[in-house]
């Protein structure tokens, strides 16, 4: 009988990120790779058990494996029980679901997805006799070999020190042969390194922002494809396989070569994972907005030229934090930021930055305004007070709108008071600021009166806050020079 199966690893976020912040850069990438490796090892176990010729891979990546397999149902159930009773690192758990192949591929996938949900609700606790757990991997040592590897291969061999294994199968680096997986040009094992070859600490990533006179912070970026199910809907098996692999190559290879390689080599970006349809990076915060936009443009071109899906988009969430901030909280907050972005517009296609979700077009405006504010303050002698005025105007707008809703009386916010602030702005800067204030005032009124507008008032307050963070240490440096 021919079945379609799915291996789905759960508990991924907690396993990768629930570690101490100190020394986290020595572990995150290695833990992420372990999740990536599990389905690859399971695939070799399936081939060994049921015969290579009886296992047909549909997709393998991102902690998921889809495949057709010719086997007896009882044999698959036995394999699943054995798999569930293996000891995995952390609290990871592999769900294995399978159903008989249906009349067509689409129906097979739909039936399998229903079975996946059912299996997850019926998870069984281990009943096998206690077995001593194999020695846990020292991820800090593991990553040293990992970053220097050119390839890996999974085979039945004795497990060496700090090697990933499952049952009789072990993943070993720098092995050649038919089933060797090349790491060349793949983001899987690429990390920012110190001069001595060690991995950069997150505090060093924050320092790179400080060196640019910005605030001493890191940023986490998470992005994933919008409405991906629509793209895969109604695809036959060949189309599904080709589309999955093309998408995998974009996230694991194209992004690395076209956007990230130099930034990783220069020590700005730490890619925790990228593959399938999403990514998660940590890096020097001041370049992360640009990185997100570069990836967005690269994806749009990729979708148009290789997928024939010009309207396929990405959403993103960026969260700033101190380098010692708990990793698990940073991951959760970044996930929440991404969720806010996807809820921002009916078409999604948005980014959340500094807590504010906005469309990518609005993000461009926000970035341009931040650049203008920075230029006025750093190069043209304008006071930082203008940033405070803009932020306070937005807060005042929100407060006034709440009062209106509560009292059911319309009292327009005093947006034109912004013009009053112009009297304190240097003469040579007034034309630029007047143009921005006019736009901002109009945006506030449009939002207050719920008029349709392409101009979101919050982007001005975000731009002001962005500017403050960009010049945080310039102000301190100036004070030190005066002393």
CA distance 33 to 25: 13
- Res 390 pLDDT > 90: no
Q: What architecture is domain 2-182?
A: 2-Layer Sandwich (3.30)
Q: What is the mean pLDDT of residues 445-463?
A: 77
CA distance 398 to 440: 14
The three-state secondary structure class of 221 is strand
- Res 231 pLDDT > 90: no
pLDDT of residue 476: 61
pLDDT of residue 402: 52
pLDDT of residue 371: 96
Pick 196-353's CATH classification: 2.60.120.10, 3.40.50.300, 3.30.70.270, 2.40.30.10.
3.30.70.270
Q: What is the mean pLDDT of residues 147-170?
A: 89
Q: How confident is the model at residue 443 (pLDDT cuts 50, 70, 90)?
A: confident
Q: What is the mean pLDDT of residues 11-33?
A: 94
Q: How do residues 72-90 score in pLDDT, each as one tens digit?
A: 999 999 999 999 999 888 8
Q: What is the mean pLDDT of residues 221-243?
A: 91
pLDDT of residue 391: 80
* Strands of 181-182's sheet in order across: 164-166, 169-173, 151-156, 181-182
Return the CA Rg of the chain: 26
Q: How do residues 136-153 score in pLDDT, each as one tens digit?
A: 788 888 998 999 999 999
Token code pair at residue 351? 């980014």
Of 182-191, 322-331, 471-480, the poorest mean pLDDT is in 471-480
Q: Tell the residue number behind the tokens 């199968």, with chain if given.
A: 169
Helix H or strand E encompassing 52:
none
- Res 42 pLDDT > 90: yes
Q: What is the mean pLDDT of residues 245-251?
A: 94
- Mean predicted lDDT score pLDDT of the chain: 88
Q: Of residues 14 and 451, which shows the higher confidence score? A: 14
Alpha helix ranges (H) inside 122-168:
139-147
Q: Are β-strands 169-173 and 151-156 bridged in parallel, bridged antiparallel, or unpaired?
A: antiparallel
- Res 358 pLDDT > 60: yes
Q: What is the mean pLDDT of residues 308-312?
A: 76
Q: What is the mean pLDDT of residues 263-269?
A: 98
- Res 37 pLDDT > 60: yes
Of 15-19, 396-400, 457-461, the poorest mean pLDDT is in 396-400
pLDDT of residue 432: 85
- Delimit the CATH 3.30.70.270 region(s) of the chain: 196-353
Helix H or strand E encompassing 452:
none
In the chain, % of residues over pLDDT 90:
66
Q: Are β-strands 269-275 and 350-353 bridged in parallel, bridged antiparallel, or unpaired?
A: unpaired
Q: Of residues 31 and 482, which shows the higher confidence score? A: 31
Q: How confident is the model at residue 310 (pLDDT cuts 50, 70, 90)?
A: low
Q: What is the mean pLDDT of residues 121-137?
A: 58
- Res 407 pLDDT > 90: no
Q: What are the φ and ψ backbone dihedral angles of 155, each rounded to 5 degrees?
A: -155, 170
pLDDT of residue 125: 56
């Amino acid at each position: 009988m021919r079945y379609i199966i799915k291996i789905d690893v759960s508990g991924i976020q907690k396993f990768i990120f629930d570690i101490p912040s100190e020394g986290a850069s020595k572990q995150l990438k290695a833990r992420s790779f372990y999740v990536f490796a599990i389905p690859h090892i399971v695939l070799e176990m399936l081939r060994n058990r049921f015969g290579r010729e009886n296992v047909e891979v549909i997709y393998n990546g991102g902690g998921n494996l889809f495949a057709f397999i010719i086997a007896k149902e009882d044999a698959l159930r036995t394999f699943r029980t054995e798999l569930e009773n293996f000891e995995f690192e952390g609290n990871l758990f592999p769900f294995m679901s399978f159903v008989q192949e249906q009349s067509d591929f689409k129906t097979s996938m739909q039936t399998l997805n229903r079975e996946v949900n059912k299996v997850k609700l019926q998870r069984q606790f281990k009943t096998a006799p206690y077995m001593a757990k194999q020695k846990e991997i020292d991820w800090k040592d593991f990553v040293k070999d990992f970053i220097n590897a050119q390839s890996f291969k999974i085979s039945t061999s004795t497990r060496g020190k700090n090697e990933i294994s499952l049952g009789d199968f072990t993943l070993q680096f720098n092995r050649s042969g038919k089933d060797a997986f090349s790491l060349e040009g793949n983001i899987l094992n690429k990390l920012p390194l110190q001069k001595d070859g060690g991995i950069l600490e997150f505090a060093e990533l924050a320092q790179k922002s400080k060196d640019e006179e910005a605030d001493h912070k890191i940023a986490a970026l998470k992005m994933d494809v919008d409405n991906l199910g629509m793209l895969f809907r109604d695809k036959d098996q060949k189309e599904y396989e080709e589309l999955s692999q093309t998408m995998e190559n974009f996230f694991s290879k194209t992004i690395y070569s076209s956007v990230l390689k130099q930034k990783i080599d220069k020590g700005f970006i730490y890619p925790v994972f990228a593959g399938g349809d999403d990514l998660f990076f940590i890096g020097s915060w001041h370049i992360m907005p640009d990185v997100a936009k570069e990836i967005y443009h690269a994806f749009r071109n990729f979708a148009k030229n290789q997928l024939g899906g010009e309207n396929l988009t990405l959403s993103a969430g960026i969260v700033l934090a101190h380098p010692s901030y708990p990793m698990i909280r940073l991951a959760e907050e970044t996930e929440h930021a991404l969720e806010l972005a996807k809820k921002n517009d009916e078409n999604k296609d948005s980014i959340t930055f500094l807590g504010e979700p906005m469309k990518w077009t609005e993000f461009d405006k926000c970035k341009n305004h931040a650049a203008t504010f920075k230029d006025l303050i750093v190069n043209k002698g304008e006071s930082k007070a203008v940033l405070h005025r803009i932020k306070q105007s937005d807060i005042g707008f929100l407060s006034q709108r709440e009062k209106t809703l509560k009292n059911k009386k319309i009292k327009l916010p005093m947006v034109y008071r912004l013009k009053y602030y112009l009297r304190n702005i240097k003469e040579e800067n007034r034309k630029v600021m007047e143009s921005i204030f006019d736009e901002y005032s109009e945006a506030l009124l449009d939002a207050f009166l719920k008029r349709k507008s392409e101009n979101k008032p919050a982007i001005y307050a975000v731009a002001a806050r962005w500017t403050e963070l960009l010049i945080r240490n310039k102000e301190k440096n100036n004070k030190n020079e005066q002393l």
